[in-house]
Amino acid sequence: MRQTAIFLLFYLFCPTAEIHSQQDSIISEKPAPATTVTEQKKKLNFFIISKRKKGALDLASRFNVFRTKLKSLFRQKKFVAIVAKDGQQASARILYRLEKYNGRIGTLWFDSHGMYKKGYSLFFIGKDEYSYKTLKDSAIVQPLRQLAPYVKEDSKIIIGSCYAGATYTRSSIDYKDTTRMNGDSLMIGIGKILGKVSVYACESWVMTKPGLFLKKAAVAGFPGRKLFRDVCYKPAWENVSKWNHYNAITNQFSTVNPVTMDMYGNLLLLRQAYAEKKEVKKDISKNLGKLEHGLYK
């Protein structure tokens, strides 16, 4: 029993190779008046993680599963972590909790890997890909539509996938052509499906850090691996920690400071733009000057 406790504490607090710990003050957005769900509904926050493929070792995802499950274990009526094999399973589990606790959606975070090599913004729920392309598929979209009755004007959807909010044009991995990422189309599409919500996504990398839930710049930063110094990643370096916001009520698209979450899974916005810090700007500039061809393999 003692060994198990030590193991849990170690994984909860140990740093990873991608930690750029920056203590920041935070600010939450003011909620808009409610109209779609009655006031007696309790706000529930969700963190959705894709179930890993058999035989695939994904340390970042496993760490997220561990820490979010641990958080939700002690805050079941406020924060729920869900591991899902596809969109329908995620939706069913969200709906079950909402009905059980007479709830409505507060913050809904989709935790996923991005795929820069595909040339467009996306996120996954298990095996299901969500992008501006797949949102035309009614079978893919239906699980999300089932959640629409449970949102309010202060509901927040975060696409926690690298490049999910990317609006730039990037060169292909083999440098033969360029393609627009269309992250804005993805964000707007999600907003229109769910209704009166705010959607957030990042132009660049969304980092995996133990700082999430600890009031820090938890998802701001950049990776250290050599392949990310390839020249095809230049747009990502130029947009480090730049987050976008789409308001489905006003149909407005804007840039916001990086996001984080509090211990109950509520979305919070940092008061200061992470990439505007003097030391961070210096690091980004240095890395931009060192980009090379042929590093992506």
DSSP string, 211-233: TTTTTB-TT------GGGGBGGG
Does residue 280 belong to any structural domain of this protein?
A: no
The owner of tokens 């400071």 is 257
Please name the residues in contact with 193: beta carbons below 8 A apart, sequence gap of 6 or more. 135, 141, 144, 145, 148
Provide the pLDDT for residue 127.
94
CB-neighbour burial class of residue 159 (10 A; exposed 0-12, middle 13-18, buried 19+)? buried
Q: What is the dihedral of CA 219, 222, 226, 229, to 10 degrees?
A: 140
Provide the pLDDT for residue 255.
95
Does residue 106 belong to any structural domain of this protein?
A: yes
Does residue 103 belong to any structural domain of this protein?
A: yes
Provide the pLDDT for residue 87.
97
Give the residue from 81, 162, 89, 98 showing the smallest Cα distance to 126. 89
Does residue 160 belong to any structural domain of this protein?
A: yes
Does residue 15 belong to any structural domain of this protein?
A: no
Does residue 8 belong to any structural domain of this protein?
A: no
CA 137 vs CA 117, 129, 133, 189: distances in Å: 22, 11, 8, 12
Provide the pLDDT for residue 58.
55
Does residue 250 belong to any structural domain of this protein?
A: yes
The range of the structural domain enclosing residue 89 comes to 21-227+242-273
Does residue 284 belong to any structural domain of this protein?
A: no
**How confident is the model over 249-276, as pLDDT tens digits?**
999 999 998 888 888 889 988 887 888 8
pLDDT band at residue 173 under the 50/70/90 scheme: confident
Q: Cα–Cα distance between 46 and 69 in angstroms, integer?
A: 11
Q: Cα–Cα distance between 67 and 74 in angstroms, integer?
A: 12
For the residues of 167-208, what is the DSSP string, one character each? -SEEE-TTSS-EEE--HHHHHHHHHHHH-S-EEEEESS----
**How confident is the model over 33-68, as pLDDT tens digits?**
444 444 578 999 999 988 766 655 555 555 555 455
Number of domains in the chain: 1
- pLDDT for residue 153 is more than 90: yes
Provide the pLDDT for residue 25.
40
pLDDT band at residue 120 under the 50/70/90 scheme: very high
Q: Cα–Cα distance between 219 and 209 in angstroms, integer?
A: 7
